[in-house]
Amino acid sequence: MGLAATIVAVAGSWTVSQSADEMATLSAARRSAAGLWELAQHVDGHFLPYYAFMHLWLEFGQAQWWLRLPSAIATGVAAALIADLGRRLHSLPAGVAASTVYVFLPSVSYHGQNVRSYAFAAAAAVLATWALYRAIEEPGRRGGWWKYAAAVALLGCTQVFALLVLAAHLLAVALYRRGVLVRMLPAMALGCVPGAIWAVVGFNERHAISWIQMPGPGVFAALPRTTGGTALAGHVLLVLALAGLLLLRRHRAHRLWVTLLAGWALLPPVLLFGLSHLLSPVYVDRYVFATVPAYALLAGLALVALPQALAALALVGTLAAGLPGQLDVREEDGHHENFPRAVRIVSGGALPGDAIVYGGSWLRTGMLYYGGRDLPDDVLLTSTAPSPESFNYPERADVAAALDGRRRVWVLWRGDAPAGLRIGRLDPVLRGFTRTRIWHAGRTPGMTVALYTR
């Protein structure tokens, strides 16, 4: 199952434009070790373990499929662990069904092709639960709790908010295996040390996520789409997960693991919502992706409880529900931004002597990755290396002087292009120009490309 899942995740990964977040990974991973450490002291410090790994990975290439391969492999690891955990909880068919459901969810394909750490977080969440199962149900094995501690440590290094999955571990064990707590709590505490460090680092750099809005109750109504990748796939997944939950509740022996799976699915978004209102807004859909394996496991358990013909029909229906989303995430703008289209627009219409300026200097990373030498003169750029403390590039402050003598200027910024839009410090200068053409590249928010002439 692991190899099949990796192949599914890799398929089409070379056709999809990288997103703004993926470009942040590329910008960070390209730096020297010292430069990466300097960046981590200002922004995205909690992603340092992932960025450090990608720094080493980029030594072997920077092709788009290669950049995304680690996430695809992590998806394969998660699928294999889900299959084995499902086998341990119920049977081999249950594990295979759960793994199949997981692999063909559009959300899993999205993160399996995403140059970010969320696929790793999902895999680490399954690994921690798998290790907990073995430590509890196979007490005769040596080192079970040490392995659990190591899995928890890995979880905290993938994505800080993935540690919220541990709330489900605590709840289930406290309710049904209280005697295990004396061994579980020290192992969990030890494993949480790295995650606690990254949490403190992230809290001190919370200015970097000041763009996150305070979540409202609507985020819970959006959970099916968040977990499934599309509303249709998510609702089918939710129905199957609820069915699995109800079927397993009949068996007294399964209460611990039913509670754990339910808590794994539901507690992280609730806790993330609570943290947003108590401390600072931190609720973003992708931060709860580590809950998706729990839904898949419950769905797999539900499928094997059905008559064989009905189970096969339900599985085919589940895969069919995810197919439109699977195709959609593999479109060129499947990750919202569309840098290749922006490059085609600019390079296809540029004339000798044209200039290009950016409403957000970090956009250069994507334009240079896909466009390189085919772009107009970057008149504001003062260094090809990004700023040590951010993903932006150092630029000239005298925009008017930089554009002196230029008849045509290409301008890029993130978002739509409503009439009268102001582009920060560029706006006063561009009043001397007329906007003659405008294009939108990617999905909302996407990017706007505009051509200005004197």
Q: In this structure, are residues 241 and 298 in contact, taking their beta carbons and an 8 Å threshold?
A: yes
Residues 6 or more apart whose CB falls under 8 angstroms from that of 137 comprise 88
Sign of CA dihedral 186, 190, 192, 193: positive
* Residue 44 phi, psi dihedral angles, 5° rounding: 60, 30
What pLDDT score does 245 carry?
A: 85
Q: What is the pLDDT of residues 376-412, one digit of tens each?
A: 999 999 999 999 999 999 999 888 889 988 999 999 9
Which is nearest to 302 in space by CA: 91, 80, 5, 75?
A: 91
The whole-number pLDDT of residue 128 equals 98
Which of 285, 51, 291, 284 lies closest to 157 in space, CA to CA?
Answer: 51
High-pLDDT (> 70) share of the chain, %: 97
pLDDT digits (tens, 9 = 90+) for 275-296: 999 999 999 999 999 999 999 9
The H helix count followed by the E strand count for the chain is 21, 5
Q: Which residue has the tokens 């709860």?
A: 288
Q: What is the pLDDT of residue 170?
A: 97
Q: 373 to each of 20, 217, 347, 356, 361, how far by Cα in Å?
A: 21, 47, 9, 12, 17
How far is Cα 233 from Cα 319, in angstroms, rounded to an integer? Answer: 8
Q: How confident is the model at residue 140 (pLDDT cuts 50, 70, 90)?
A: confident
Helix (H, G, I), strand (E, B) or coil at 42: coil
Q: Report the alpha-carbon distance of residue 288 to residue 223 in Å, rounded.
A: 9
pLDDT digits (tens, 9 = 90+) for 225-265: 999 999 999 999 999 999 888 877 666 557 899 999 999 99
The separation between CA 397 and the C-alpha centre of its own chain, rounded to angstroms, equals: 35
Phi-psi region of 259 (alpha: psi -120 to 50; beta: other; left: phi over 0): alpha
Average pLDDT in the chain: 92
Q: What is the pLDDT of residue 252?
A: 56
Contact status, residue 99 vs residue 86, Cβ threshold 8 Å: yes
pTM of the model: 0.94
217, 219, 218, 237: which is closest to 227 by C-alpha?
A: 237
Total length of the chain? 454
Position 421 pLDDT exceeds 60: no
Distance of CA 407 to the CA centre of its chain: 41
Phi-psi region for residue 61, left (φ > 0), alpha (ψ -120 to 50) or beta?
A: left
pLDDT band at 299 (very low <50, low <70, confident <90, very high): very high
pLDDT of residue 290: 97
How many CA atoms does the CB half-sphere of 288 hold within 13 Å? 27
